[in-house]
């Protein structure tokens, strides 16, 4: 039901249903009252007319047959009894219908006014004279009409129940109208929110595919304004990024040439040992600069997505580590193929392996594939990390324990880059501490569907 | 008129004939000098130029040249344009200097006819190794250039893209290679069905990574074997020839 308040369509339905519903209810109430009034006036006139005819008829009949005639003339709303005494007693509260009836009879038969037409409740009436079974006593009006010879025609009137009978069908039509309103409002709100949803769809597609280019400014004026605002924002962001990219290109070019010169100068240094050390420093500096520039440039993201053998990458990393005198052990199947960007994936895995080697001396890599998931677990033999840092070290330029990091070098981007690459492949990497010792990097990558 | 080209010919290389004559085309004069000195130390004769125009003048002067080191990022006429123009006139081996991480420059450069590349900042030893490899290949192919004009090799369904340095197995899956493995594979593919001695292979593998020297060639070959497996147990495209070396036993097509 949150859909009702969560969407424009839902809210439109609420507004329309509540608004139209209350209008309908008020209108229905007023209409009902008008009809009731009208009908009861009409009914009263008809009853008066009929009573006049009945009175005249009874009068024309001989007294000893009058009661029987009265009974046989009874029917419908009217019950007739003839007698020497009035059964109705005056007084009590007369309702509107009774009052109208009284006035109507007197105006049509002025003599009744003098002879004392009695209209009133049934309370004192002898029970046996009442047609109690068919009519509810509370809804009857008792009239005693004096005849010219002093006898009385006692009339029991079922209360005129006017238009109430029509209520169920009215309710039904209101319900149908309500349903109609819901249907119409769903269609209307769909139409209303169409441009808005179009805008959202355009914006999402644009950002998802990182295509450049503005969102089409179409739809209602409000939506066009919104699209224009988004385009403007997008434009500003692009300008910022462009500026940054240009600056980076300039910086990296300006750094490359002096670094190359420095390398050449170092190469001509006569002292072999000093040269070796300077070269190591240069390597480190270069790696750092390259890592930062590459991170800021995001230059691995425009590589094409291909089928890549993960195991071949890991074997290369193992070979390179072995050549550098480090220990990396790989345990896994012969081949594992994933869809991805080759050099980016290599960078990510390299960063994780290097991280393990840097802090944990040796790295052991276990690779497995289950269903649609490739799992790569990289364990080291180092001291691990405090719990609160397991997630923190993925932030750019954050390293584990500062003193250790400084001693061993590193630029604090390796894990950031690794995670960003893996996430862009629909995977992820998380860190945890091993059972006895060491840090465990757990990589997950989606496996391609079997071809 | 300003004499733009700076020559190192003869500095310290007078008694011995230089290994080769190399032109350095880079707009940074300091770098040109340093690189020149470094190469002269390694018995090369070097001429430096700062732009495409100067290089053009040098080429037309009829100087005897063996190799050009060409910076891609040049003011005015870009290295790519220069490279394209050069290729129309000569088969001189061209070694590009590119910015690291700039894949497009590299691939475009190789596509229009450069023979190899080194990314700035490069280590001098790596550059040296590449120059030597390029000259060697140029001599093997008869000095007529046409060295790196091959774009790919195909063997038994496998494909090695020389521009992207990318190996694909028969199912199109990219199989990662280390730099040493790549060089070994190229050496095998250049001379298929021929026995290559360990020295020859060591020479080929040296061109990329100077730190790998002490790694036995047998280990490198066994790693490469593992990467280009035939799919069948105990079989390999690379045969061991006892006492002689290794041989690639596959039909190779190049394009």
8 Å CB contact between A408 and A358? yes
8 Å CB contact between A250 and A273? no
**In this predicted complex, what is the ipTM?**
0.77
Distances in Å between the Cα of A304 and the Cα atoms of A344, A416, B103, B199 are 10, 21, 12, 37
Sort out which chain B residues have CB atoms less than 8 A from A260's CB and list them. 31, 120-122
List own/partner pairs for A56-60 with CB under 8 A and 24 or more apart: A58/A82, A58/A147, A58/A153, A59/A147, A59/A148, A59/A149
Average pLDDT over residues B175-184: 90
What are the tokens at A437? 């010792």
Q: Please tell me the pTM assigned to this model.
A: 0.62
8 Å CB contact between A351 and A418? yes
pLDDT (tens digit per residue) in B187-206: 899 888 999 988 888 877 66
Torsion of CA A268, A271, A272, A275, to 10 degrees: -60
pLDDT (tens digit per residue) in B132-151: 888 887 877 654 444 446 78
Neighbours of B94 (CB within 10 A): 29
Task: Tell me how close the Cα of B141 comes to any Cα of chain A, in angstroms.
Answer: 31
pLDDT (tens digit per residue) in B92-133: 889 998 876 667 777 788 888 888 888 888 888 889 988 988
8 Å CB contact between A363 and A355? no
In this predicted structure, the answer to whether residue B233 has a pLDDT above a threshold of 50 is yes
**Best mutation site among A250, A254, A255, A256 for testing chain B: the one with the most B CBs within 10 Å?**
A256
* Minimal Cβ distance to B223: which of A259, A308, A319: A319
Torsion of CA A390, A395, A401, A407, to 10 degrees: 130
Percent of chain B whose predicted confidence (pLDDT) is above 90:
28
| Distance (Å, whole) CA B144 – CA B152 | 20
Burial class (CB in 10 A: 0-12, 13-18, 19+), A304: exposed
Sort out which chain A residues have CB atoms less than 8 A from B176's CB and list them. 308-309, 312-313, 315-316, 342, 346
Classify the C-alpha dihedral A155-A158-A159-A161 as positive or negative.
negative
Burial class (CB in 10 A: 0-12, 13-18, 19+), B101: middle
Q: Which residues pair with A145 in a beta bridge?
A: A153
Instruction: Tell whether A392 is within 8 A of chain B (Cβ).
Output: no
pLDDT (tens digit per residue) in B7-63: 554 444 444 567 789 999 998 899 999 999 999 999 999 999 998 889 988 888 888
User: From chain B, which residues contact A within 8 Å (Cβ)?
Assistant: 28, 30-31, 34-35, 37-38, 41, 73, 99-101, 103, 120-125, 166, 169, 171-178, 180-181, 211-212, 215, 223, 226-227, 229
8 Å CB contact between A336 and A308? no
**Residue carrying the six token digits 């596959």:** B250
pLDDT (tens digit per residue) in B67-77: 999 998 888 88
All residue ranges of chain A with pLDDT < 70 are 1, 90-95, 113-115, 120-140, 159-168, 170, 207-212, 297-301, 399-411, 450-451
In this predicted structure, the answer to whether residue B228 has a pLDDT above a threshold of 50 is yes
Residues in A 250-269 with any Cβ partner in B closer than 8 A: 252-253, 256-257, 259-265, 267-268
Q: How far is CA A246 from the centre of its chain?
A: 44
8 Å CB contact between A195 and A203? no
Distances in Å between the Cα of A154 and the Cα atoms of A87, A96, A119, A218, A233 are 6, 20, 10, 81, 90
The average confidence (pLDDT) of chain B is 82
pLDDT (tens digit per residue) in A87-98: 777 666 666 777
Spatial neighbors of A35 by CB under 8 A, at least 6 apart, are A162, A163, A166
């Amino acid at each position: 039901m949150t859909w009702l308040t969560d969407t424009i369509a839902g809210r439109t339905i609420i507004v329309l249903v509540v608004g139209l519903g209350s209008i309908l209810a008020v209108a229905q109430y007023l209409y009902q009252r008008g009809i009731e009034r009208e009908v009861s006036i009409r009914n009263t006139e008809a009853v008066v007319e009929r009573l006049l005819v009945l009175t005249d008829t009874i009068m024309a009949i001989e007294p000893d047959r009058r009661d029987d005639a009265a009974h046989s003339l009874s029917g419908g709303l009217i019950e007739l009894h003839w007698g020497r005494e009035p059964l109705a007693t005056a007084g009590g509260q007369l309702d509107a219908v009774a009052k109208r009836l009284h006035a109507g009879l007197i105006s049509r038969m002025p003599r009744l006014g003098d002879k004392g037409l009695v209209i009133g409740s049934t309370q004192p009436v002898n029970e046996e004279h009442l047609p109690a079974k068919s009519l509810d006593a509370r809804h009857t009006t008792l009239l005693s009409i004096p005849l010219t010879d002093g006898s009385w025609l006692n009339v029991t009137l079922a209360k005129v129940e006017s238009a109430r009978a029509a209520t169920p069908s009215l309710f039904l039509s209101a319900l149908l109208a309500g349903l109609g309103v819901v249907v119409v409002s769903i269609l209307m709100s769909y139409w209303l929110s169409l441009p808005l949803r179009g805008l959202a769809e355009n914006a999402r597609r644009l950002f998802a595919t990182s295509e450049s280019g503005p969102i089409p400014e179409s739809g209602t004026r409000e939506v066009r304004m919104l699209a224009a605002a988004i385009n403007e924002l997008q434009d500003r962001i692009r300008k910022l990024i462009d500026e940054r990219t240009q600056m980076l290109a300039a910086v990296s070019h300006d750094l490359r040439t002096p670094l190359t010169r420095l390398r050449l100068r170092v190469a001509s240094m006569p002292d072999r040992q000093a040269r070796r050390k300077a070269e190591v420093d240069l390597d480190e500096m270069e790696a750092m600069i390259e890592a930062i520039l590459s991170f800021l440039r995001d230059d691995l993201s425009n590589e094409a997505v291909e089928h890549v053998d993960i195991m071949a990458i890991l074997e290369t990393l193992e070979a390179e580590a072995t050549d550098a005198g480090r220990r990396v052990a790989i345990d896994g199947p012969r081949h594992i193929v994933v869809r991805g960007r080759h050099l980016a994936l290599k960078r990510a895995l390299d960063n994780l392996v290097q991280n393990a080697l840097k802090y944990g001396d040796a790295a052991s890599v276990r690779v497995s594939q289950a269903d649609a998931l490739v799992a790569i677990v990289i364990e080291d033999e180092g001291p691990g990390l405090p719990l609160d840092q397991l997630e923190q070290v993925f932030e750019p330029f954050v390293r584990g324990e500062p003193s250790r990091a400084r001693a061993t070098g590193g630029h604090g981007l390796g894990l950031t880059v690794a995670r960003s690459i893996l996430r862009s492949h629909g995977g992820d990497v998380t860190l945890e501490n091993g059972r006895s010792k060491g840090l465990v990097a757990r990589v997950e990558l989606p496996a391609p569907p079997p071809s | 008129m300003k004499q733009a080209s700076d020559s190192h010919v003869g500095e310290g290389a007078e008694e011995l004939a230089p290994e080769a004559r190399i032109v350095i085309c880079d707009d940074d004069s300091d770098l040109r000098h340093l690189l020149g000195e470094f190469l002269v130390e390694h018995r090369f004769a070097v001429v430096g130029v700062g732009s495409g125009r100067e290089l053009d003048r040098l080429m037309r002067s009829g100087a005897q040249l063996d190799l050009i080191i060409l910076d891609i990022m040049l003011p005015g006429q870009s290295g790519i344009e220069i490279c394209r123009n050069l290729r129309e006139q000569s088969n001189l081996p061209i070694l590009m200097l590119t910015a690291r991480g700039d894949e497009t420059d590299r691939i475009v450069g190789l596509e229009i006819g450069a023979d190899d590349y080194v990314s700035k900042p490069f280590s001098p030893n790596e550059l040296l190794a590449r120059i030597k490899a390029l000259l060697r290949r140029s001599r093997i192919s008869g000095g007529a250039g046409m060295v790196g004009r091959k774009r790919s090799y195909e063997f038994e369904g496998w494909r090695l893209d020389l521009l992207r340095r990318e190996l694909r197995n028969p199912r199109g899956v990219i199989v990662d290679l280390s730099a040493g493995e790549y060089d070994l594979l190229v050496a095998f593919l250049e001379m298929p069905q021929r026995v290559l001695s360990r020295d020859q292979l060591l020479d080929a593998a040296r061109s990329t990574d100077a730190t790998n020297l002490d790694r036995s060639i047998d280990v490198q070959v066994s790693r490469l074997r593992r990467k280009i497996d035939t799919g069948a147990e105990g079989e390999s495209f690379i045969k061991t020839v006892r006492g002689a070396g290794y041989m690639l036993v596959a039909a190779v097509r190049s394009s």
